[in-house]
Amino acid sequence: MNNNKVCIISFLIRHIYSVKVNDERRKVMNLELIKNNIIFRLITKKEFDRLTKQSEATKDEFPYRKWNDLYLIYRSILPNQSEDLVTTMLISNFIMKRLKFTEEELFQFAKTNTAKRTGIIVTPLSNPFRNEMSAKTDIWNFSDDTSDSTILSNRNLMNGAALILCDEVMDKVVEHYKVNVLYILPSSIHEVNIIPDSDSVDVEYLKDMVYEINRSTVAPEERLSDHVYKYTCATKSFEML
């Protein structure tokens, strides 16, 4: 971790945990800053176990929920960062209580806040990210061919897989494809590949493809899952295949 990142984290944590009575206004402002930058993130069981062990050492557990074979956790984007560096802080139970959130309320808030804070990039698999890394606004670059699969990530192409849990994001994807079912392939922790249902879709082939790509192309620390997820558009529900 570089010195700038350490300074940012240390500065924020010092103020969050301040208990000086005459500093109440500053504490409230910092809590608002944390709240307004809350997002969620999908992580593997291995990463979840690492965070759990870390939290046990500090005696400060964190809110989460199980999502199929993955885990959903909450983080807050730290301020004053360069454009190519995004640092986040894990939301602990202590901070959640200070924010006066339950885990369900935290989930609902992050569900609407994540896309706003991280941004959205949609691009066809046939024409993957070109100039999108310099994007300052959301990009919805669907292919004219509605049978073409779509890559979904956030604006800095980092840890963007959780965007599939944002209703407003998936609603636009569904509107484009106009199908009853979508298949979500976890390309990595950074992005997912979305494939519309059709007579030519072979689910077993998709599952084999995810497994093989994870082993041949994706770095171990960036793998998200070996599974394919079926998204039923009418109910906005996911099923692990």
**Pair 226, 211: CB distance under 8 Å:** yes
Residue 163: what pLDDT?
97
| Strands, E assignment, the chain | 38-43, 64-67, 70-77, 88-90, 121-124, 139-140, 150-153, 181-185, 192-196, 229-232, 237-240
Which residues are paired to 71 by β-bridges? 43, 66
Between β-strands 38-43 and 64-67, what pairing exists: parallel, antiparallel or unpaired?
Answer: unpaired
One-letter-per-residue 3-state SS of 95-107: HHHHCCCCHHHHH
Q: Give pTM, 2 decimals.
A: 0.83
Burial 111-135 (b: 16+ CB within 10 A, else e): bebbbebbbbbbbeeeeeeeebeeb
Measured distance CA(199)–CA(228) in Å, rounded: 17
**Could you read off the pLDDT tens digit of each residue along the chain, which spans 241 residues?**
454 444 444 445 444 444 443 454 455 458 888 999 999 999 999 999 999 999 988 888 999 999 999 999 999 998 765 555 568 899 999 999 999 999 999 999 999 999 999 999 999 987 765 555 556 788 999 999 888 999 999 998 999 999 999 999 999 999 999 999 999 999 999 999 999 999 999 999 999 999 999 999 999 999 999 999 999 999 999 999 9
